[in-house]
Structure 1
Amino acid sequence: MSTHSDPPTRPDSEHSEKDLEKDEDEGSRNASTVPAFTSPANEAHESPPNQCSDWNGPHDPENPLLWPRWKKIYHTFIPAIIAFVCTLASSIYTPGRDSLAAEFHVSAEVSILPYCFYLLGLACGPMIAAPMSETFGRRAVYLTAIPVFALFTLGGGFSNNIAAFTICRFFAGVFGSPGLSIGSATLADIWTPAERAVPMALYITTPFLGPAIGPLVGGYVAAAKGWRWTQWTLLFFTVAGLLPTVGMKETYKAAILKKRAKSLGLPTRTTDRTALQSCAFFLRSTVTRPIRMAATEPVVGAFTAYIALNFAMLYGFFTAFPWVFAEAYGFGIKSIGLTFLGLGVACLVGCGLVILFSKLIFKRQVARSHKEGRGGKVPPESRLYLAMIGGLCLPISLFWFAWTARPGIHWISPVIAEGFFGCGNLLVFMSATMYLMDFYGPLYGASAMGANNISRYLMGFAFPLFVVQMYEGLGTAWATSLLGFISLALATIPFLLYTYGARLRAASQYQRST
């Protein structure tokens, strides 16, 4: 289960294009339900004495899959905390927009730009971070990118005009993105597919939890110290996220073997690809192929549009809801931040539901498949139950919020409605990720999620630019109801795919990669 797709293992630069595709598929197999770019570390075997291209037998102590559990948990915490910090950074600024607008003498619309351009940075960053992690290893990217993220955050706090602050926020997003773009790959490096469900569920929850906590922290900081302190407070969180990486060990197989080969003076096949080749393969697997799949594959196109809209609404709410609660209840900056706790609690509930589904329902389906002689194979459509539940929660929450966020109705009602939206959003995203991976397999599933990754942050970038004007023009009830009607129409997607999924698999141009 992962929110972000990454490129596969890099073969020798002299291989043919066909060989490169073969290695790309091979490197994707270790990802199970996550698009990740790891080598097939599970299949360890003795390497010839003049090579260093695989583990030294099935008990190689440097194999991350064989690490003790405490060490795996430690290395799971690192990408999780970084993902939390870089998504916290997205919304922590929003409560300070008014004070920034007053200081720089800009309009409310212009004051939203630093928020939007940070999201654009999150969309662009993986194009650098993912191939670099394949060339230099995961640890090197974390230790390089996050300090640069901190420097741009610091620069943002010292900016003396809106243009400088917006540019700093964009590059902070670019360099903060490794927690999102290579986090799932890091977990795939250290957890076997059988162990991966719970760590992945917990990890994926952090990018949902971060934006929900941001307005709460930012509200109190902006009220007491002004907008600049939202950036400097973020530095404290960054330090907390960066310190554990100092003790981090490399998890990427190719990087470990490259270091071993260098120390022994031996050649290695797995790490000869250049950074330029890595970028080329990353662009193919997460840009060109995903765009083609989104345009030609109904399953990819449908879920891409669905999830992109859900994320657009989520990030739009961080700019629209302060207006709603100020108009309806006269809330100040601190109280508005507290209302987003509903989203935070909902993320934890959604994570618990995903874990329960994996442990109680899906596990039984796999066991039944073994018992019936089907080798543990379960139809991908069994992954859609969570999306069905989440898809119904979304329009319910939007209509609930639309007609209860008004004077005379207690504020707790729209806050609970927010919670239903947050939970439904997470359930749809998790379910779609697992379904696409099961539907297309690791290689094409990663590309399918690549289309999703690009679209949701681009939509998140664009939506806040007009959502406040929409609420001011239509009012809370009809603006949110409009989104509710759209969400209600899209909620049919999981049910339609459950019904016609087998036919779509048979007609797909992209046969499932093994």
Structure 2
Amino acid sequence: MRPDLEYNQNGDVTASSEKLDKVEVASDSSDHGSESIIQAVVGDIELREHNIPKDDIVPPEAPAALDWDGPDDPDNPKNWRFGNRVFQTLPPALFSFVVTFASPVYTTATQQIQDEFNVPLEVAIVPLTTHTLGFALGPMLAAPLSELVGRRYVYIISFGLFLVFTMASGLSPNVAALCVLRLIAGCLGAPALAVGAGTVTDVWDTHKDGGVAAMFFIMAPFLGSSLGPVFGGLISYNQTWRWTMWLVLLIGGPMFLFFIPFMKETYKPVILKKRAIKRGTPLPPQPRGAEALRKVLMVTLLRPLHMLVTEPIVIALSLYTAFIFGVLFLFFAAIPYSYGTQYRFDRRESGLIFLSNIVGVILGSATFGVIDRTIYKKRYEHAIANGQQPAAELRLISAMIGSIGLPLSLFWFAWTCKSSVHWIVPSLSIIFFGWGMILIFLAAATYLVDTYQYLTAASALAANGLLRYGFGAVFPLFAIQMFTNLKIGLATSVLAIISTVMMAVPFVFYRYGKYFRERSAYETLKG
């Protein structure tokens, strides 16, 4: 059996051809449906957590120091019973849900924070910004930590501390403490988002039976972000804002305590290392000190930042998805303001409006699957039948379709969110926002994976995530000023106009993506 992880003569961790095949799903998968697309997304993120520089990849004939005993090795997570594999997939997905749920959950109670701490609304929104900023910073620690102690301990340590600092946030004596504690909680919650994708690829063969599990993991953060304001509005209607923090503990605490005794380690190098120690097998040398730190910094920080300023594909798609994410987080402040001023909605009623976005996310995920199994698959197979390399730009079909939903939604909301129009009309527009958002995000992620090879794709996704959460942190800061000074119609129309201009991104790269791929400074799919 081909090795999954190997060690070269210098003790550097390397990747085998089996793992590389998971990234190159377009070239050797017999099923090019939605499962292979999700494999492309989560499989390459999993490589990122190995921190394997591209230059250290060895040919498949290199010997393995540690590997499974055979294809039926019972210690291999992919050989566990189906029910056990399902159970081991739940913690990262549900932890990601809770972490993203916690970010906007208190935004419908900002008036209470204003009254208690005697601060303006703009300051009361800052804890949303700091918590979201933590999502951008936390993954920088998650990957090297999982390399040392495995995924299970990363979940236990980080999520446990996330709950502790969420509790501390609920006990904050002032708004400054709330901002700092929420920042720390965001950083500690982020590893569930960063490491969880690796667990999916540890446990499932997404070419065969893991597509649904992978899709569930990808949808969980979007559902958490949308449900946060819904439950936050319901609970803060009769309780203080601190109960929004207690709600996170009530959801995440029992879940955490339930999973701890049953969670298993799924990370192959850690499983093999423990087994080798038990068997008395010598362990291969591993990079230490400055060399190990250099590799971690290169993969988790320096390369993503470099790509974010030098690669047109990464820059354009990251800006597009970051803008969409920014608008989503801007809505956490703008929707309560808009419905409060126009329809006299209270916190509870304003929070329920976000159910429309949940409907849109679910419909968008279903649309993505339909597009993938019809339009994408047909064009992919046509290229193969004609002896051609299928273009990576085929992944952008979903984004081109989804891009229509954003300006449609925003213009619709801008022109109908007023007291003379029934509140249900602007609420329906938000469905199209969620629909377009998830289509564009999934298309952009799979296109980056197909375009860039090996760890370079992981760095491209890391750059995308860094900018995306950065925009999500900043946009709420000017939401109220923008909607107050420009009024709801003009403010939302400005966002709609920007989204209309940015519609060109997937269309331009669908037409000229090959040109930029061939001129990239990084290894890319050249066909």
Range moving further from structure 2, 478-487 or 56-65: 56-65
CA contact (8 A) 1:12 1:273 kept: no
| SS in structure 2 at match of 1:36 | helix
The Cα shift of 1:168 comes to 1.4
- The structure 2 residue matched to 1:185, chosen from 198, 201, 210, is 198
Could you tell me which of 239, 248, 258 is aligned with 1:225?
239
**Cα–Cα, structure 1 residues 166 and 181, in superposed 2: closer, same or farther, change >3 Å?**
same
- The alpha-carbon deviation at position 373 of structure 1 amounts to 4.8
Match of 1:37 in 2: 46
Aligned position for 1:334: 348
* Correspondent of 1:352 among 366, 379, 382: 366
Is 2:259 the counterpart of 1:247?
A: no
Once the two structures are overlaid, the 10-residue window that deviates more, 442-451 or 83-92, is 442-451
2:432: which partner in 1?
420
What's the offset of the Cα at 1:139? 0.5
CA distance in structure 1 between the aligned counterparts of 2:102 and 2:471, rounded to whole angstroms: 18
Q: Report the CA distance shift for 1:442/1:362 in structure 2 as closer, same or farther (over 3 A).
A: farther
The correspondence of residues 310-389 of structure 1 with structure 2, limited to 5 A, is 310-369=324-383, 371-373=385-387, 378-389=390-401
Change (3 A) 1:278 1:177: farther
CA deviations 1:466-491 (Å, max 9, x no partner) are 11101100000110111111111111
Whether 2:174 is the aligned partner of 1:165: answer no
Corresponding residue number in structure 1 for 2:219: 205
1:434 corresponds to which of 441, 446, 452: 446
| Cα distance change, pair 149–13 in 1 and its aligned pair in 2 (3 A) | farther
Normalising by structure 1, what TM-score? 0.90
Q: CA deviation at 1:364?
A: 4.2
Q: In structure 2, do the counterparts of structure 1 residues 363 and 71 end up closer, same or farther at CA, with 3 Å as the change threshold?
A: farther
Displacement after TM superposition at 1:412 (Å)? 1.2
Aligned to 2:33: none
Change (3 A) 1:57 1:127: same
- In the TM superposition, what are the counterparts of 1:63-142 in structure 2 within 5 Å? 63-142=76-155
Letter in 1 for 2:148: T
Residues 373, 356 of structure 1: alpha-carbon distance in 2 compared, 3 angstrom cutoff: same
- CA distance in structure 2 between the partners assigned to 1:231 and 1:389 by the alignment: 38
Residue identity matched to 1:456: R
* Residue-by-residue CA offset, 1:205-229 (whole Å, 9 max, x unaligned): 1111111111111111111111010
Q: 2:381 and 2:264 mapped to 1: Cα distance?
A: 36
Compared CA separation, residues 275 and 251, structure 1 to 2 (3 A) = farther
Q: Give the share of equivalent positions with the same residue, in percent.
A: 38
Shift of 1:370: 5.0
For structure 2, the residue ranges without an aligned partner over 5 or more in a row are 24-38, 53-57
Does structure 1 residue 297 correspond to structure 2 residue 311? yes
Could you tell me the TM-score, scaled by structure 2's length?
0.88
Q: Distance in 2 between matches of 1:364 and 1:104?
A: 59
Q: 1:381–1:435: 8 Å Cα contact kept in structure 2?
A: yes
SS of aligned partner of 1:463: helix
Match of 1:3 in 2: none
Counterpart AA for 1:268? L
1:287 to 301, 306, 310: 301
Q: Deviations over 1:231-266 (max 9, x none)?
A: 011101112442234312111110111110111121
How many Å apart are 1:281 and its aligned residue?
2.7
Alignment partners' CA distance in 2, 1:276 and 1:395: 49
The alpha carbon displacement at 1:363 in A equals 4.0
**Root-mean-square deviation over aligned CA pairs:** 2.6
Residues 211/279 of structure 1: CA separation in 2 closer, same or farther (3 Å cut): farther
Render the CA deviation track for 1:352-400: whole Å, top value 9, x for unaligned: 12223334444444544554455xx532111111100111111111111
The CA distance in 2 between the partners of 1:275 and 1:169, in whole Å, is: 32
1:262 aligned partner: 277
Deviating more after overlay: 68-77 vs 489-498: 68-77
In the alignment, what sits opposite 1:453?
Answer: 465
Q: CA, structure 1 residues 503+47, in 2 after alignment: closer, same or farther (shift >3 Å)? A: closer
The CA deviation at 1:511 is 2.0
User: Matches of 1:253 and 1:332 in 2, distance apart?
Assistant: 50
Q: Do 2:6 and 2:66's aligned partners in 1 also have CA atoms closer than 8 Å?
A: no
What corresponds to 2:30 in structure 1? Answer: none
Cα deviations by residue, 1:2-50 (Å, 9 ceiling, x for unpaired): xxxxxx96957944xxx66x6499866545512323479xx9x9999xx
| CA shift for structure 1 position 67 | 2.5
Give the AA of the match of 1:36: I
Distance 1:59 1:88 in 2: 39
Contact 1:30 1:193 in 2 (8 A): no
How many angstroms apart in 2 are the aligned matches of 1:46 and 1:190?
A: 25
* Residues 376 and 397, structure 2, Cα contact 8 Å, conserved in 1: no
Kept in 2, the 8 Å contact 1:202–1:351? The answer is: no
Output the amino acid matched with 1:393: G
**Distance in 2 separating the partners of 1:478 and 1:286:** 40
Q: Which of 402, 406, 420 is matched with 1:390 structurally?
A: 402
Question: What SS does structure 1 have at the residue aligned with 2:231?
Answer: helix
Contact 2:5 2:15 in 1 (8 A): yes
The alpha-carbon deviation at position 97 of structure 1 amounts to 1.1
CA contact (8 A) 2:206 2:214 kept: no
* Offset from partner CA, 1:445-485 (integer Å, 9 cap, x none): 11111111111111111111111101100000110111111
Q: Name the aligned partner's letter for residue 78 of structure 1.
A: P
Say if 1:442 and 1:513, in contact at 8 Å, map to a contact too.
no
Q: Aligned in 2, Cα 1:332/1:278: closer, same or farther, shift over 3 Å?
A: farther
Q: Quick check: 2:227–2:355 contact (8 Å CA) kept in 1?
A: yes
Between stretches 348-357 and 226-235, larger displacement belongs to 348-357
**Contact 1:13/1:272, CA 8 A, preserved across alignment:** no
2: distance between equivalents of 1:328 and 1:500?
45
1:13–1:274 Cα contact (<8 Å) kept: no
Runs of 4+ residues deviating >6 angstroms: 45-48
User: Could you tell me which residue of structure 1 aligns to residue 32 of structure 2?
Assistant: none
Deviation for aligned residue 1:73: 1.9
